[in-house]
Structure 1
Amino acid sequence: MKTIKQENPLIHCMTNMVVTNFTANGLLAIGASPVMAYSKEETADMASAADGLLLNIGTPSEAVIESMIIAGRAANAQGTPVILDPVGAGATPFRNHIIRKILDEVNVALIRGNAGEIAAILGEVGTVKGVDAQIKTDPIQLAIKAAKQLNCVIVVTGATDVISDGMRTVTVKNGHPWLTRVVGTGCLLGGVICAYSAVKSESLIDAATEALVFYGVAAERAFTKTQTQGIASFQIQFINELSQLTEDEAALFKQVEEIELEEKEK
């Protein structure tokens, strides 16, 4: 977080129309610099200049996906981390097709999704309702399996978040259920992870872990201050907490566990 505020990384967000404003404000709150560019005529230039690229398929179209692939290739050429948020994976054949297309043509460094979305990428069947998917599986084993098959860092978000590269696995238990009642918090999280990855690309697991802790503690603090007021107040206070919370304060409340090899094999 200190480095983000010092370096003000440029995060190229190719995200969905539902969450654009919330994502931009959240990234500004933590000290990053968001830019939203979607036209294929400029996405390569923008991605080449950016410190991180977020691909979020929440409202997909053929034109947007074409632009995403152009941006992804440009980011790859610069060694810039590409973060994929496969919103609604498994909901429709079209979403499954474009996720596979992105993974085939772009070197994705990290994928962030809920358990249902990650499982859908692997071809496992769950219960899908709109863009929300559920599956009965152990998120730790799912993250490890996905990381090995997809050859990238996997972040499975839920009541307990799991981060894995297939060899090393970490869990984070910070956060609050009210995050699920505000549209865009998962998508903004993808942007925050991208910002952390931009300044800590040598260890994406550590970058994602620190991002999840910071994000989760900010949510906990926001709930404490607005629990008698309601969800709308929580949403505003959450952005406030992202802008005011310090790295040292977040560290005091972190709930992080490194999963040992023996535990993974059970």
Structure 2
Amino acid sequence: MFFFSLTNFSVPFISNLLTSLQDAPVIVVVMVFFMAWLGCWLPIALVLLRLLHWQPIKPLQPEQKLPLIVSLYLLAPLIVWGVIWLTNSSFSDYGVVANWAMLGSLALGLGLGLVSIVMLYACQFWLGWCVFKELNIKQIASILPSILLVALLVGGIEELVFRGFLLTELEQDYSVWVAAVISSVIFALLHLVWEQQETLPQLPGLWLLGMMLVLARICDRSHNLGIAWGLHSALVWAIATIDTAQLVTYTGKVSEWWTGKNNKPLAGVAGIVCVLGTSLILWVLSVYF
């Protein structure tokens, strides 16, 4: 009897929810997505914080942040799938397809991202802004695979959410560039969740990075997230490897506003020039190839 009562309640509720979301303004769908993502993650986060013996009076340590970030990111595809089910759309609408074209685009993005970072640090080395610690190069082989896996996870999930779901939904009500600006602002601001002091100087650079990744999706002739995913993952992979192995030391020859405040490339002129240069390459590829 209880089962039938529950069924009689749940079926109309789900039907009404489906109809409401399909007819709702884009901003409502976006808000439902982020609220559902946060709502599902908070209980998991509370359990993890308890297991990690976190004390409210102390800031989160890197080893405590990692399980929280991983759990948050692993939930995202499930929430996107929920929105897809409710709105009768598909992952391909958000630029995720399982084919060779996606794999080729991913490889292209990875290559472009790595070349961009190599050029960034090569120029700074040539200008005398930084030096490489050759003794630490031996550490790279042991940490590259694990950092690559994390970078692919971070890059893939963030592209699915911001250049896949969010950008696509916003394009229903706005032009592509207005949608790009809004999604990139949200992309930049949400990085404040984990670290405010170091993230604040990076906000302009993070917004510009978001715009570059929008361009990466637009210029992909297969209309998938492959180039954006690969580019994003390559940047995370390279910078995390450099930081973990402590490969670079800045000489102090110029202000950190040139090289990046708190040693974060996106918080400096050099990093922003790198993003602009990569964006120019993407535009050339989209126009002439």
Common topology (TM > 0.5): no
Task: Tell me the TM-score normalized by structure 2.
Answer: 0.32
Task: Tell me the TM-score normalized by structure 1.
Answer: 0.34
Greater percentage in helix: 2
Between structure 1 and structure 2, the one with the greater Rg is 2
